[in-house]
Each structure stands twice: as C-alpha cells, then as structure tokens.
Structure 1
Amino acid sequence: MRHREPTIRTTREEDWRQVRELRLEMLQDTPLAFGETYEHALGVSEAVWRMRAARGTTPGQTSVVAIDRDRWVGHMGGWVPDAASGPLLVGVYVSPAYRGDGRGVSRRLLEAVEEWALGHGDALRLEVHEQNPRAIAFYEKLGFSLTGHSRAYELEPGGLELEMIKRLR
C-alpha cells in the first residue's frame, strides 16, 4: 500500500502551538535525544514557543517539519553556532508510526536541512547520545560518521554526546 507523502516545509512564528505539541511528543518519546526535559518544556512561555517556531524564517537557523494532513509527524532543525564549526543538525524527530514506513520522512527532512546547510558550509554536524544506538545507526545510514569528538551530556543520566559529520560537497 502506497502512503501519501507528508508536506515538508519550514516553520513560522504562527506555528508555535504545533511546534510546542511536537516538541512535547519528542521529549516523551525519546527524552535522551534532546537537551531539554519534558517538565522544562511544559513551563516554556508562549513568547519562547513563538521564537522557536520562527526559527524556520530566522537567518542562520532553520526549522523544518513534516505534516501529514493536519498531523505534525517530524522535525529537523539547524543552526550555525559559529562560523568555524559550521552548521549543526538539531531537534531530529520522526513520530514512531512514520519511521521506516516508506514515506521517506527522515530523508526528505534531512534533504531540506542539507540544502539550507550548504549556504553555511560544506559539512553538517550533529551530536547524539552514546546510549542511543538506534539514532547512531540511523545517522550512519544517512551518511554521517563519528568524528571521535565528544562532550558531556548535561542532563540525567549523564554520559557523552558523540559528534558525527556528513560532508555535503
């Protein structure tokens, strides 16, 4: 059975309610994958959610979502922490029912972020928790490789965030 492909687009400030809803889903599904707790996100103000949603239209940042009819089913973002390190992939999430189902949500979201990233460098980096082997395998399948660099994960349970990179040109 062929599924309808979700719409892929950048977020806008007026999307703040949907951005909030998807972020809360992300934090409940895979809390280890994001540098924020569900409890913290519940307390974030409307102004902050509006700012997060506006990342899709903010220079030096992007926020891309997959929408199936009215349901938001995936997200990937990017930002440039500094010119020397280049663009960083962040906020990667696809709802469980859309993972590996043939609709290509992950691939299409990543293609949109890669297109944005090419305006900021020749590679795209990300960080993934060492205790998230499913995500590491997913990123490797999409062409990322471990760099050998890591940093401490700031939330419980601790551990390391491993850096991965994908050359874009």
Structure 2
Amino acid sequence: MDHVIRAVQPDEWAKAKDIRLASLQDPAAPVAFLETYEEALEQPDSFWQERAVGSSPRHRTRSGQFIAEAPDGTWSGTVTLLIEEAGDMDFLGATSERAQGHLVGVFVRPEQRGTGLLGALVDAALDWAWSLEEPWLARVRLHVHEGNPRARAAYRKLGFVPTGKSLALEGSPSVAPGRDLELAINRP
C-alpha cells in the first residue's frame, strides 16, 4: 500500500472539510451518513477548524480522526472514532451502557475501494482506542444501515459482529428510512 495512515492534525481542517464533502456526495451517503452535503456545505470555516482540533487524537480529545494519505498528499479515506464513556449520551441520543468507542464518518474514495485502505483506517482507529488508559475501552461499535450490504460485509470481514441491537431511522431528511444495525468488535 502506498498510502500513509495517520491522525488528522488541527491545521488540516480544510482537507478534513474536503473529504467530508466528498463523502456526502457519494451515492451511498443517504444510507451512510446522518447529514447531507448541503447541510455540511453551510457550515462556516470555524466549524471545520473546531472539528479538526476536536478530532486530533494527540490533543487528548474524545475523538480521533484518521486518514489515508496518498503520495501526492490527497486524502483517499477517513474514519473517526468517538469515545463514549459509561452514562454519556451518544450522538444518537442513547445512553452508553459502558465505555466504548464508536466508529463514524467512514469513507474511502470509490477508486480506492477494495485496496485494503478501509482495513488500515479501522486498524489505526482501533489501535488508538485500545491504547487509551482512561477510559479503558472494552469494545468499539458502529452502525450500518440495513440497506448497505456492501458496508455490512466489509465490517464483518474486519471482525465486527452484529450485537442484535438496531435503531429506526425516521424523520431525518438526510437519512434513508430503514434501520441501522449495530456491529461491535471486542478488545483483543
């Protein structure tokens, strides 16, 4: 693989914005993300700057964003891991039963799919999650739309298994109706 997998730095907010906007233009976006391209495009630069600082794992934040950087400096993929402590309310409005990680914003550019970048990005996020001492994380989870069988298969190939939990996706203009299925991987 000719890509470098690394954490996003706070000063890379413009590139983080660009890859997020690209992900929201992907045909799978309505079953993969909880926001539309138009919603993201309306955000001011300060939003993207704060988001980059907040997702730089070197800054002891509650999230870490990792990217796959090609030799020419372009970003071919990204994943973000959110830290959920026991008792916290997650971004979906549910209370976390345990300290865990939550993978979100997973995207690999179409021309790079099937090259191993997804696995490398998820591995980087998991390595970071398992290295945390506070809070100690026993598992990492993610949600995948029932209408996205390719993503479900890819995550299962990486070791994620269904937890039996799901949530209905209703009333959001940015998400296709249906159910999100929860998958998780336990700490080795």
Question: TM-score, with normalisation over the residues of structure 2?
Answer: 0.82
Residue aligning to 2:160: 144
Q: Which residue among 102, 105, 109 is the counterpart of 1:91?
A: 105
Give the Cα separation in 2 of the matches to 1:64 and 1:22: 12
Residue aligning to 1:74: 77
Residue aligning to 1:153: 169
Where do 4+ consecutive residues of structure 1 move more than 4 Å?
A: none
Post-superposition offset of 1:107: 1.5
* Residues 114-145 of structure 1: CA deviation (Å, up to 9, x unaligned): 01111241211001111101100000010001
Give the Cα separation in 1 of the matches to 2:157 and 2:106: 15
Give the Cα separation in 2 of the matches to 1:132 and 1:15: 30
Counterpart secondary structure, 1:52: helix
Q: Which runs of 5+ in 1 are unaligned?
A: none
Post-superposition offset of 1:85: 4.4
Q: Which residue among 119, 126, 130 is the counterpart of 1:114?
A: 126
Give the Cα separation in 2 of the matches to 1:107 and 1:157: 26
Give the Cα separation in 1 of the matches to 2:179 and 2:99: 19
Read off the aligned partner of 2:182 and give its amino acid letter: E
Q: Which runs of 5+ in 2 are unaligned?
A: 87-97
Give the Cα separation in 2 of the matches to 1:114 and 1:35: 22
Post-superposition offset of 1:56: 1.7
Post-superposition offset of 1:82: 2.5
Post-superposition offset of 1:21: 0.7
Give the Cα separation in 2 of the matches to 1:42 and 1:60: 24
* Residues 18-66 of structure 1: CA deviation (Å, up to 9, x unaligned): 1111001101112120111111011011111012212123422100001
Post-superposition offset of 1:81: 2.7
Give the Cα separation in 2 of the matches to 1:80 and 1:46: 24
- 1:12-91 equivalence runs, <5 A: 12-29=9-26, 30-31=28-29, 32-54=31-53, 55-57=55-57, 58=59, 59-68=61-70, 69-83=72-86, 84-91=98-105
Alignment size in residue pairs:
164
Q: CA RMSD in A?
A: 1.4
Give the Cα separation in 1 of the matches to 2:156 and 2:182: 12
Aligned residues with identical type, % of pairs: 36
Post-superposition offset of 1:162: 0.7
